[in-house]
């Protein structure tokens, strides 16, 4: 096939895909307009004009300040930022913890292997919602008061008032962080650093622990997929077990791990919607409050669907790009 014919075929493929995307978007717009017309014909107030009206409620925490006088669209934006604020650290903790547990599942030490196996079997077989409710109960009733917090690590304090951790701080008049501000225990509680609410700690910990059980199995399967000959080759080169794992096994296991890990990260992001059960003001919680105040259920649910679809597509795009980098040539 000549280069010109190949280029023509590539352009034709792009045109067909663009037309298909336009057709799907047009269909979605038609369905949306039809639904709104049906609601109006039944006397139900509908449309997205409410987004510019004052919300009438405030959001208690988050990176974006929000009060009752600000519009609904800003409330949804604050909810989206809170969703990302919970999902990103939970994904990082789940990957790190899951990788350690997955390696532990293959350890020669019987006790370590048994503990890791028990963790996986317990955490993945109990519904996430139940785990979140148990964590919320433990945070509220089993931890000490803020005046008597538990010191987990230097500068890390935990109580039923939340978690205090060191946080970057800038100097006088500057915006770039120059040092860490460390929490200090006083007579009336912990001051300084970053104070994380009990609801935030509950959802991040719950998502991390639950997802780590699945990540552990993904990592274990990836390690087992590496040929034993590769391990023997590492031993013949005089590599220690740690070097064999880091240099020989894990880089090859990534080709099996990454596609399944993508699915798990998508699941974790969507499971963050369960934060509404423990009172954390993420996107679904904001939408529920909005529905209660103005009754625009269809519009709010449509916004939730669109936002989670966008987040999932972004995660898939990023992970597929990374998967293309670690994949063997000829597998793509």
Residue 153 has pLDDT above 70, yes or no: yes
| C-alpha to C-alpha distance for 12 and 31, rounded to whole angstroms | 29
Percent of the chain exceeding pLDDT 90 equals: 56
Structure confidence by residue, pLDDT tens digits, 70-126: 999 999 999 999 999 999 999 999 999 999 999 999 998 999 999 999 999 999 999
Q: How confident is the model at residue 7 (pLDDT cuts 50, 70, 90)?
A: confident
Average pLDDT over residues 242-256: 89
Structure confidence by residue, pLDDT tens digits, 28-54: 889 888 888 888 888 877 888 899 999
C-alpha distances (whole Å) from 103 to each of 107, 109, 218 are 7, 11, 10
Least confident of 87-96, 117-126, 143-152, 206-215: 143-152
Q: Which of 32-36, 220-224, 230-234, 295-299 has the highest mean pLDDT?
A: 220-224
Residue 254 in tokens? 């990534």
Average pLDDT over residues 213-229: 93
Residue 263 has pLDDT above 50, yes or no: yes
Residues in Cβ contact with 4 at an 8 Å cutoff, skipping those fewer than 6 apart: none
Name the DSSP letter for residue 275.
G
User: Are the beta carbons of 165 and 194 closer than 8 angstroms?
Assistant: yes
Q: Which domains does the chain have, with CATH numbers?
A: 72-145+200-326 (1.10.3720.10)
Residue 307 in tokens? 């936002």
Structure confidence by residue, pLDDT tens digits, 76-86: 999 999 999 99
User: Are the beta carbons of 259 and 323 closer than 8 angstroms?
Assistant: yes
Prediction pTM value: 0.86
Element of type H or E holding 165: strand 162-165
Structure confidence by residue, pLDDT tens digits, 276-327: 999 999 999 999 999 998 888 889 999 999 999 999 999 999 999 998 888 7
| C-alpha to C-alpha distance for 106 and 78, rounded to whole angstroms | 43
Terminus-to-terminus CA distance in the chain, angstroms?
Answer: 22
C-alpha distances (whole Å) from 242 to each of 191, 228, 246 are 41, 16, 6
Q: How confident is the model at residue 225 (pLDDT cuts 50, 70, 90)?
A: very high
Residue 331 has pLDDT above 60, yes or no: no
- Pairwise pLDDT comparison (225 vs 39), residue with the higher score: 225
* CA proximity to 331, closest of 232, 217, 235, 225: 225
At 105, phi and psi to the nearest 5?
A: -65, -20
User: Are the beta carbons of 233 and 169 closer than 8 angstroms?
Assistant: no
Q: Looking at residue 39, what is its pLDDT?
A: 83
Percent of the chain exceeding pLDDT 70 equals: 97
* CA proximity to 98, closest of 123, 68, 73: 123
| C-alpha to C-alpha distance for 158 and 152, rounded to whole angstroms | 7
Residue 1 has pLDDT above 60, yes or no: no
Q: Looking at residue 215, what is its pLDDT?
A: 96
CA torsion through residues 318, 322, 323, 329, sign:
positive
């Amino acid at each position: 096939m000549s280069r010109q014919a190949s280029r023509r075929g590539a352009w034709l493929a792009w045109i067909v895909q663009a037309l298909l995307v336009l057709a799907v978007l047009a269909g979605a717009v038609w369905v949306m307009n039809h639904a709104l017309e049906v609601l109006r014909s039944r006397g139900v107030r509908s449309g997205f004009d409410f987004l510019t009206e004052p919300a009438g409620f405030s959001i208690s925490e988050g990176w974006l300040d929000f009060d009752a006088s600000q519009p609904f669209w800003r409330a949804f934006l604050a909810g989206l930022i809170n969703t990302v604020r919970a999902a990103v650290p939970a994904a990082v903790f789940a990957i790190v913890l899951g990788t350690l547990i997955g390696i532990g599942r293959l350890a020669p030490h019987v006790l370590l292997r048994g503990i890791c196996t028990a963790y996986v079997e317990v955490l993945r077989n109990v519904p996430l919602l139940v785990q979140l409710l148990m964590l919320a109960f433990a945070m509220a009733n089993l931890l000490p008061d803020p005046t008597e917090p538990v010191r987990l690590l230097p500068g890390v304090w935990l109580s039923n008032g939340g978690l205090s951790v060191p946080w970057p701080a800038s100097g006088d008049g500057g915006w770039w962080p120059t040092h860490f501000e460390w929490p200090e225990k006083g007579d009336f509680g912990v001051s300084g650093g970053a104070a994380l609410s009990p609801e935030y700690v509950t959802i991040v910990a719950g998502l991390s622990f639950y997802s780590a059980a699945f990540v552990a199995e993904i990592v274990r399967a990836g390690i087992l997929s590496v040929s034993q000959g590769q391990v023997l080759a590492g031993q013949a080169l005089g590599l220690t077990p740690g070097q064999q794992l880091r240099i020989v096994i894990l880089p090859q296991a990534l080709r099996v791990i990454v596609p399944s890990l993508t699915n798990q990260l998508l699941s974790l992001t969507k499971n963050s919607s369960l934060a509404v059960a423990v009172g954390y003001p993420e996107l679904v919680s904001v939408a529920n409050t909005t529905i209660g105040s103005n009754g625009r259920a269809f519009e709010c649910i449509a916004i939730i669907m669109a936002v989670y679809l966008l987040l999932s597509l972004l995660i898939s795009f990023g992970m597929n790009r990374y998967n293309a980098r670690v994949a063997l040539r000829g597998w793509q």
